[in-house]
Amino acid sequence: MVPVRISFAVLLSLACLPMARAHSAVQPGAYAWPVRGAVIRPFEAPSSPYSAGHRGIDIAALFGTPVVAAQDGVVAFAGWVAGALFISIDHPDGIRTTYSWLSAVGVKKGDRVVRGQVIGSTGHGHPEISTPHLHFGARIGQTYIDPMTLLEPGDVVGLIHLAPLDGASTAAFTATGSHVG
């Protein structure tokens, strides 16, 4: 009985090896934000490949905002799908990122892109959502993953405004809010 369990365990670990390798290459926080804005709808994993879910995140951005490649890669697709513009980029770590509901595309299939390169412009976003946004997705093989795990940590500069402590002189602060002395 023991040899059967060991054999089953070995087979199970071997079966999972390719997926483990793909995930181990993924570096959390290694991708740039394709646009800057609030995430107005999070990733919702589908329960099966064909069931409902939200296979990406929606990032609020004004119509026509430049969209940048989140990481170096090769454009796998750029064009129209069901009346909307989309871009897909394959990255060396095995991830494919998708940029959806665009108003303009600035790349074509086969183009090499670098992190931060403008690849298109935002459109209205999902038709049922009134706030203009970019739908940003990511997958490994056929499995969609939460793109938030890829994105570099957000920057709170400009969101937090500090005031001087009691008794502190406001003259010690510059016009930008930085402490001088």
Model pLDDT for residues 97-118, shown as the tens digit of each residue: 999 999 999 999 999 999 999 9
115 located within any domain: yes
Distance between CA atoms of 110 and 81, rounded to whole angstroms? 18
User: Exposed (0-12), middle (13-18) or buried (19+): which is 91, by Cβ within 10 Å?
Assistant: buried
Answer for the pair 97, 87: CB distance below 8 angstroms, yes or no: no
Query: How many C-beta neighbours within 10 Å does residue 150 have?
Result: 23
User: What CATH number is attached to the domain comprising 104?
Assistant: 2.70.70.10
Cα torsion 148, 87, 22, 92 to 10°: value is: -110
Quick check: is 107 in a domain? Answer: yes
Q: Are strands 112-113 and 73-81 parallel, antiparallel or unpaired?
A: antiparallel
Q: CA 126 to CA 121: how far, in whole Å?
A: 15
Task: Kindly state whether residue 166 falls inside one of the protein's structural domains.
Answer: no
148 three-state secondary structure: helix
For residue 65, being part of any structural domain is answered with yes
Residue 36 lies in a domain: yes
Q: What's this model's pTM, rounded to 2 decimal places?
A: 0.72
Which residues on neighbouring strands pair with residue 68, listed in sequence order?
118
- Is 16 inside any structural domain? no
pLDDT per position as a tens digit, 17-41: 333 334 446 788 899 999 999 999 9
Beta bridge mates, 90: 74, 96
The answer to whether position 6 is within a domain reads no
Range of the domain at 96: 28-149
Contact 50, 34 (CB under 8 A): no
Number of domains within the chain: 1
Give pLDDT tens digits for 78-89: 999 999 999 999
Q: In this predicted model, what pLDDT tens digit does every residue of 133-166 receive, in sequence order?
A: 999 999 999 899 999 999 998 765 544 556 666 6
Q: Do the domain assignments include residue 34?
A: yes
- What three-state secondary structure class fits 95? strand
